[in-house]
Amino acid sequence: MTDTSTGPEATYGGRDPDALARRAGARANPDRDQHFLVDDRVLDRIPTYLPDDADTSHVLEIGGGAGALTDRLLAVVARGSGNDDLESGVLSVIERDGAFADFLREEFAGAVDAGLLDVVEGDALDIELPPFTACVANLPYGVSSEIAFRLLPEKRPLVLMFQAEFADRMVASAGESAYGRLSVSAQHYADVEIAERVPKEAFDPQPAVESAVVRCTPRDPEYTVGDEAFFLRFVKALFTQRRKTVRNAIRNTSHISGLDEPEAVVDAADEDLLRQRPGNLEPKSFAALAELARECGSPTEA
C-alpha cells in the first residue's frame, strides 16, 4: 500500500523491507551493485547512529532502492529538524535507477506532496549534490570510496554502510596493518568509527562480503596544511611505497606527488622521520612532512 498521507499524521519507519521490494516489482541487481538491506533491526538502528546534536533539517540518502532506509529516515525528518521541533525536515534521496526512483515517488507520494521528500534521479558521482545537513546511506560498494570523498569535505555528520574491509581501513591507526592512505585521508576530515558490523544475511541478495556501518563526525584536524589537495596527493604517493622507508618513498614517487625536487625534501627532513615507513606515520607527521615538501620540493600543480 502506498503512502497517501500528507500531514503530520503520516506514519513512517515501520514499512516491511520485503514488502517494499515486492511492491517495487524488481529485485536488487548485484550486477548493478544493488544489495537491499532487509534486516528490520539494522534498518531501525542506522538512523540512531547520527550524533545526538546532528541537524536533521535536510538529510541526504544515496541509493534509495526500494525505500526501506528511506522509510526510516522519513520518520527522522518528520519529527523535526533537531533545531526546531515545530518544523519537519526534508529528505533528499539520490537514486540512479529510474524504475526505483519512480517507485519511491509513488510509494512515498504523501511525503513528496508534503515537501518531506525529494527524489533525485541520477548518479551521485556525476550530479550536483543537494544541500544537506547530514547523510545516511547504504552506499553502492563499487563506488563507495568516490562517494565518501565527495561527502567528507562537506564537513557534515555521515552514517554510511561500507564493505567491512573498507571500513576497517577507514578507522585504522598508525602501525596497524589496515592503516593506509584511506585512514589518513578519512581521518583528516572527521572522527571515524565503526558503529556496527552487519552480516551478509542482512541483505538481499547477499553480497560476497561482510559490511559495517561507519559514523563520521566532522572536526578540524589537529594540524594545519597549506594546500589540502597537495597533502592528500602526498599521502597517496607515499603509501604506494609503504614497505619502503619514508626517505625512499619520497624519492621514488615524485611522479605522483608532483615534487620537482624530492632530494631537497629528503635533505631538509628529520633523519628519524626518514627512517620510518609510511604505515607508522601519524597523520600529523604526514602533514608536517607535506608542508616541508611544499616549501622545499617545488611541487607542481596537479
**Kind of pairing between the strands at 90-95 and 158-163:** unpaired
- Of 138, 136, 137, 100, the closest CA to residue 119 belongs to 100
Which residues pair with residue 121 across a beta bridge?
A: 95
Cβ atoms of 135 and 60 within 8 Å: the answer is yes
Report whether 37 belongs to an annotated binding site.
yes
Beta-ladder partners of 32? none
Residue 255 marked ligand-binding? no
In the β-sheet with 158-163, what is the strand arrangement from edge to edge? 117-121, 90-95, 58-62, 134-138, 158-163, 211-218, 190-198
CA distance 122 to 109: 19
Is 228 assigned to a binding site? no
Closest of 127, 135, 159 to residue 77, by C-alpha = 135
E-strand stretches of the chain: 36-37, 58-62, 90-95, 117-121, 134-138, 158-163, 190-198, 203-204, 211-218
Residue whose entry in the numeric block shows the C-alpha cell 551493485: 33
Residue 188 assigned ligand-binding role = no
Q: Which helix (H) or strand (E) holds 277?
A: none
What contacts 189, CB < 8 A, 6 or more positions away? 152, 153, 155, 216, 218, 221
The amino acid present at 277, given as its one-letter code, is R
CA 156 to chain centre: 10
58 carries a ligand binding annotation = no
Q: Which residues are annotated as a binding site for S-adenosyl-L-methionine?
A: 35, 37, 63, 95, 123, 138
Q: Which residues are annotated as a binding site?
A: 35, 37, 63, 95, 123, 138
